[in-house]
């Protein structure tokens, strides 16, 4: 499981460019399912036929894309200008390493040196417009041999196991969800299962709306990597989730309100199977449930998340037990659906 998580998190998959992640997932799940297809927007949808007679359509959803950058211009001195893709705090960018394009050209995010800044500049957070990517060349002509306008860039961040069962990696949001769906497909279920690995979540939940419209599920479960704020400087009552306390069940966020019956079913499943869980306290943000629950005539939808610190950065952190318990909760929930 750890080896696959490493492969998934280190792959390139900025919104609109999920091909590398999709190829890894497709290879993993092909022996596990009855049918795989890729829709027009790029979602990977896997169908696993249920063993029961009166079957429902259950949709599991996790997005393949991650936040990153797109190259917008090349300066005469060979520096690359870029725009962020998805929500990234500019304060985490300075001096970070990146890989650009299919060939993963190495680069460094830079700004004007502090020695050259005016006192007023030093007091303000650096804006993306002030930054550039340095790929170690000195002219536009040299840069154009390596990089094209429209190339995507990802954080250059290897997955690392450290501390007390912790994982550091980029793109835990939402490669933890992708891994959960892959593991869930290894089981047999009474109901028909549709594992939907979606695209472009970070730029507007776009793939999920298309997938839900096509599948027409009776029930949908979105599996996410979510904010974990149990860190120094944050009052305990402001914790959205707590690392090590199990998967987080969402009641409401900025994009959807989870179906009450499904929330109770998730809680009952955790209680019955001895799987720890927590209720997500924060209500900000959103995920693919925002588009799924309003598809066609409406879909009963719920969200289960793995708590991840420092989300949308090159060094997000999670607890491996939280991931394992998320996988177990999702599998047992689907098995127990009536």
233: alpha, beta or left? (left if phi > 0; alpha if psi -120 to 50): left
Tokens read off for 338: 């009536």
Residue found by looking up tokens 């998730």 in the block = 266
* Among 231, 224, 245, 221, residue whose Cα is nearest residue 306: 224
Cis ω for the linkage preceding 67 (within 30 of 0)? no
- By annotation, the residues acting in catalysis are 201
Q: Decide: residue 57, CB within 10 A, 0-12 exposed, 13-18 middle, 19+ buried.
A: middle
What is the C-alpha to C-alpha distance for residues 201 and 160, in angstroms, rounded to an integer? 25
Contacts of 2 (CB under 8 A, 6+ apart): 161, 167, 320
Backbone angles phi, psi at 300, to 5 degrees: -65, 115
């Amino acid at each position: 499981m750890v080896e696959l998580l490493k492969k998934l998190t280190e792959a390139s998959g900025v919104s609109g460019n999920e091909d590398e992640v999709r190829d890894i997932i497709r290879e993993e799940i092909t022996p596990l399912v009855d049918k795989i297809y890729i829709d027009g927007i790029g979602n990977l949808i896997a169908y696993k036929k249920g063993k029961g007679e009166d079957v429902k359509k259950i949709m599991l959803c996790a997005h393949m894309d991650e936040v990153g950058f797109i190259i917008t211009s090349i300066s005469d001195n060979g520096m690359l200008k870029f725009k962020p893709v998805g929500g990234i705090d500019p304060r985490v960018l300075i001096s970070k390493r990146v890989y650009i394009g299919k060939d993963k050209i190495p680069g460094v995010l830079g700004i004007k040196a502090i020695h050259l800044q005016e006192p007023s500049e030093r007091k303000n957070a650096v804006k993306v417009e002030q930054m550039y990517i340095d790929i170690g060349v000195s002219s536009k002509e040299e840069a154009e041999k390596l990089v094209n306008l429209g190339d995507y860039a990802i954080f250059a961040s290897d997955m690392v196991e450290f501390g007390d069962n912790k994982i550091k990696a980029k793109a835990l949001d939402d490669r933890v969800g992708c891994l959960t769906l892959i593991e869930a497909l290894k089981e047999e279920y009474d109901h028909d299962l549709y594992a939907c690995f979606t695209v472009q979540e970070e730029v507007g939940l776009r793939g999920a709306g298309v997938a839900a419209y096509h599948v027409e599920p009776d029930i949908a479960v979105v599996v996410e990597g979510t904010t974990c704020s149990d860190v120094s400087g944050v009052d305990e009552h402001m914790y959205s989730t707590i690392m090590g306390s199990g998967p987080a069940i969402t009641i409401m966020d900025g994009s959807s309100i989870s179906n009450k019956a499904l929330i109770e079913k998730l809680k009952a499943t955790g209680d019955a199977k001895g799987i720890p869980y927590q209720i997500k306290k924060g209500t900000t943000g959103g995920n693919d449930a925002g588009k799924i629950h309003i598809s066609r005539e409406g879909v009963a939808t719920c969200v289960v998340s793995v708590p991840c610190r420092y989300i949308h950065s090159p060094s997000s952190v999670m607890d491996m037990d939280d991931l394992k318990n998320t996988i177990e909760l999702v599998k047992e929930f689907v098995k127990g659906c009536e």
